[in-house]
Amino acid sequence: MAGGGGSVKEVGSKGELDKIVGDGSPAILHFWATWCEASKHMDQVFSHLSTDFPHAHFLRVEAEEQPEISELYSVSAVPYFVFFKDGKAVDTLEGADPSSLANKVAKIAGSITPGDPAAPASLGMAAGPTVLETVQELARENGAPQVSSSGLDDRLTKRLQQLAASHPIMLFMKGNPEEPKCGFSQKVVDILKKENVKFGSFDILTDNGVREGLKKFSNWPTYPQLYCKGELLGGCDIIITMHESGELKEVFKDYGVEISDSAGGKGGISEPSGLSAVLATRLSALVNSSPVMLFMKGTPDEPRCGFSRKVVDILKQEKVEFESFDILTDDEVRQGLKVYSNWSSYPQLYIKGELIGGSDIVLEMQKSGELRKVLAENGIHHKDSLEDHLKNIVNSSPVMLFMKGTPDAPRCGFSSKVVNALKEEGVEFGSFDILSDEEVRQGLKTFSNWPTYPQLYYKGELVGGCDIVLELQSSGELKSTLSE
C-alpha cells in the first residue's frame, strides 16, 4: 500500500479524497479552520504524527472551504478527525485531544517500524519523542482536560469568558437595563447609572446554559453578577456597599474604566469598543432586525460553508422563522460584528438581539433541548410547514368544505351547490374560503391531488368535488358517507 510518505496533504475536492482513501491504506483526515487556535495546535501534532507513521495518509481539509466534504462527515466543530481503514471511515475524534489523536492513529496505522508488532496505543509508544514533546507543550498551553476545574466543558467556559470580557463593565442580570426583572438587578443598574459608567448586560433569563454555567464559572450562586474587565466584583449587596463607600468608583478608575463627567452625562448601556458609533448603530439594527437572526456565509438556500448550513438545518428542523445576513457581501459587517459580539467566527445566531453562539453551541443546545426552551422563553414558536397547516385545517371539523366564498355568500355556482346539498341533508360542516389564502388554495391541490374547487373532506379524507357530492346526494348516500 502506498501511504503518504510522512507528509500532510491538502485535499481539494471530494473526488480527490475518495481516490486517496480508496487505495485501502490507513488514512486520517483533519478538518480545521484558519480562525481556530486549537486547530492550529493540533495541526502541529498531526504533522509530527505523519512523520512517525509514513505508511498512512495524513490529509487535511479546511472545513469552511470544502462544505461538501464537511457535510459528508457531519462536521459541526473543529478540530475534527476522521479515521479510515480499508477504504472505510472507522472512527472519529472531535476536539483538541492530542493523546487521543495519537492513540487512534496508532490503532489504525499499526506500529512505527515496519515488521514490529502493533503495540497497545499509548501516547509514548505510538508517537516519537518530537510528538510527545509537542503534546506536552500543548497540554501546558491549553490545559489537556476537556473539562475545566469548574466542572464546565471548555466550549461553555470559553463562551462565558468571552461574555464576561465583552464590555469593560458587564452585568449579568434578570431582564435588561430598561426592564429589569428583579429588584436586585434594578438596584445594580441604578448604581451603575449613578456612577456615570457605560456597561454591557446579559439577560440570564434568556439562556439557561449561561445562567447555570456562570454560577460554577464564578463560584457565585446568585444574580445579578457584575464584572469589570472580566473579573467578578460581586452581587447586589457587595455593589451597594462598594458604591456607598466610594470604593466602586476607585475600582473603576484602577481598571481604567472611563467615567463620564458627573455634570455632563449619565451612565448607560455601552457600545462595544473599537467600533464607530455609526457602525455600532448599524450592527445593532441588523442584530435586532428579526427575532431570530443568523449571520452566515451565503444564504439559507445556498450556504457557502458547512457550519452555516448546519445552523440553517437546525433552525429548519425546529421550524423557526428566521432572517439572515450574508457576511460575504459586506466586509464592514463581517469584520465589525466580530468586535460587536466579541465572537471571532461565523455563523453567529442571535435571538432577540442576544448572541447565542456559533454552530457548535447551537448544535449542543438543540441536542439538549435548550434551544427550543430559549426560543419559547422569548416567545418564538414553531412555524407549521404548509403540509402541517393544511392537515390542521382539513381536520378542524369532521366535515370540512374548501370553497370559494362562504356558506352564506358562495362565490361560485359549484360551491353554492355543495353548500345547498349539505344543508338539505342536515349535515353540519366547517368551511374555508380558498379565495382568502392563495398559499392554501394552491397547496391543497397538491396535498389532495385534486385540481379544482370545491373540495369536501370527512375526517381528514377527501370525499370529492361538486359532481361526486351531488351524485352521493342523488343516490341517497351523502348523509351516510358523512356519518360513518
Flag whether pLDDT at 300 surpasses 90: yes
Phi, psi for residue 10 in degrees, rounded to 5 = -80, 125
Q: Which residues contact 319 (CB under 8 A, 6 or more apart)?
A: 382, 383, 384, 385
Q: pLDDT tens digits for 376-419?
A: 888 786 666 678 889 989 999 999 999 999 999 999 999 999 99
Give the integer Cα–Cα distance in Å for 215 and 221.
5
Give how far the C-alpha of residue 306 lies from the chain's centroid of Cα atoms, to the nearest Å: 12
Say whether 268 sits in a helix, a strand or coil. strand
Flag whether pLDDT at 135 surpasses 60: no
Q: Which fold has domain 154-255?
A: Glutaredoxin (3.40.30)
Q: Which fold has domain 277-378?
A: Glutaredoxin (3.40.30)
Give the integer Cα–Cα distance in Å for 84 and 171.
48
Give the integer Cα–Cα distance in Å for 251 and 241.
13
Residue 14 in contact with residue 68, Cβ under 8 Å? yes
- What is the largest distance, in Å, between two alpha-carbon atoms of the chain? 93
CATH 3.40.30.10 location in the chain: 9-109, 154-255, 277-378, 387-482
In the chain, pLDDT over 70 holds for what percent of residues? Answer: 86
Q: 426-437: string of b/e by CB count within 10 Å (b at 16+)? A: ebebbbbbbbee
Give the integer Cα–Cα distance in Å for 185 and 117.
65
Flag whether pLDDT at 75 surpasses 80: no
Q: pLDDT tens digits for 331-385?
A: 899 988 988 887 778 899 999 988 888 888 888 888 888 888 888 888 786 666 6
Q: C-alpha cell of 68?
A: 461538501
Pick one of 3.40.30.10, 3.50.50.60, 3.40.800.10, 3.30.1330.100 as the CATH number of 387-482: 3.40.30.10
Question: For 167, left (φ over 0), alpha (ψ -120 to 50), or beta?
Answer: beta
Residue 200 in contact with residue 269, Cβ under 8 Å? yes
Amino acid at 453: Y
Q: pLDDT tens digits for 229-250?
A: 888 888 888 898 888 888 898 8
Q: Where are the alpha helices (DSSP H) in 173-299?
A: 183-194, 208-218, 236-245, 247-254, 277-287
Highest mean pLDDT among 145-159, 200-214, 251-265, 465-479: 465-479
pLDDT at 123: 41
Residue 107 in contact with residue 52, Cβ under 8 Å? no
Q: Which residue has the cell 427550543?
A: 372
The structural architecture, per CATH, of the domain 9-109 is 3-Layer(aba) Sandwich (3.40)
DSSP β-bridge partners for residue 463 = none
